[in-house]
Amino acid sequence: MRIFVAGGSGAIGRQLVPMLVADGHEVWGASRTTEGVARLRAQGAQGLLLDVFDRAAVADAVSEAGPDVIMHQLTSLSGGSPADNARIRTEGTRALVDAARRAGVRRIIAQSISWAYESGTTPADERTPLDTGAPEPRATTIGGITALEEAVAELEEHVVLRYGTFYGPGTWYAPGGMMADKVAQAGVPAHDGVSSFVHVQDAARAAQLALRWPGGAVNVVDDDPAPAREWVPALAKALGAPAPQVAPGGAGWERGARNARARELGWEPVHTSWRTGFFQQD
């Protein structure tokens, strides 16, 4: 199978591309940096330097690759800006979908998030509505996710991977990452808001398996949604940082997510819980 991976040098892409190459697929990986292109080529992929906001360049790249499937793993995480992420989910996705339609590509697998659901008291499943009535600043994130999911649904075959919060190599939660540094400085509230995590290796494995999955949204999270009053102290311990103070609080949308559908489709995370996974981030 010929696969075009947009965001091939990102946190998921750098795990995913070697898996796809090892499976015998012909992989075309796109990156915004020359360093990313070099990494892709070293992993056995055809590396392309690409600005996803250049619609003509995206169309030309997809046409040249002639893929059977587009893997959309685009994010803009380096600066931590919701607006930057919303833009890449809106404009970058639009460019990819239009390029796919022009090139006759029928299938796309796209990265979304599992914390975009409306408020509730239990972990959300894929039938739970998205939080489209959220106020700012959350509205910016939800708007980007909604635009992404609606755009990829234009293709005949589409799988939306609603990932949990990433941890592991190259993520904010790994030593030296943005969130890890905040935890070390006691800058992350240890409250009652619930999160669902997923190790990047397990996230990449889900994308690999999604090549054969039926269409629709799938939560890709570990088995252990938990409040920040539990996971923040655990991450601090894994990082060798002081234990934070626990305080009440948390938003209603911080509810975590269920992974039953992903497991029914055959995905089995190696890291079933952040409780052990936080200590295995290399």
Residue range 6-41, pLDDT digits in tens: 999 999 999 999 999 999 999 999 999 999 999 999
Q: What is the pLDDT of residues 203-232, one digit of tens each?
A: 999 999 999 999 999 999 999 999 999 999
- Mean pLDDT for the chain overall: 96
- Per DSSP, the chain holds a count of helices (H) and strands (E) of 11, 11
| d(C-alpha 44, C-alpha 35), whole Å | 15
Looking at the DSSP assignment, which residues form a beta bridge with residue 4?
28, 70
Structure confidence at residue 148 (pLDDT): 98
Q: What's the whole-number mean pLDDT along residues 44-71?
A: 98
Contact 39, 29 (CB under 8 A): no
Tell me how far apart the alpha carbons of residues 74 and 207 are, in angstroms, rounded to a whole number.
Answer: 13
Confidence check: pLDDT of 78 > 70? no
- Is 168 strand, coil or helix? coil
- pLDDT at residue number 156: 93
Segment 38-54 shows an average pLDDT of 98
The rounded percent of the chain whose pLDDT value lies above 90 is 95
Name all contacts of 98-101 with Cβ < 8 Å and 24+ positions apart: 98/55, 98/58, 98/59, 99/55, 99/58, 99/59, 99/61, 99/62, 99/63, 100/62, 100/70, 100/155, 101/154, 101/155
Nearest to 167 by CA among 216, 245, 119, 224: 224
Asked if pLDDT for residue 119 goes beyond 90, the answer is: yes
Question: Which pLDDT belongs to residue 79?
Answer: 64
How long, in residues, is the chain? Answer: 282
Please tell me the predicted confidence (pLDDT) of residue 186: 87
Q: What is the pLDDT of residue 3?
A: 98
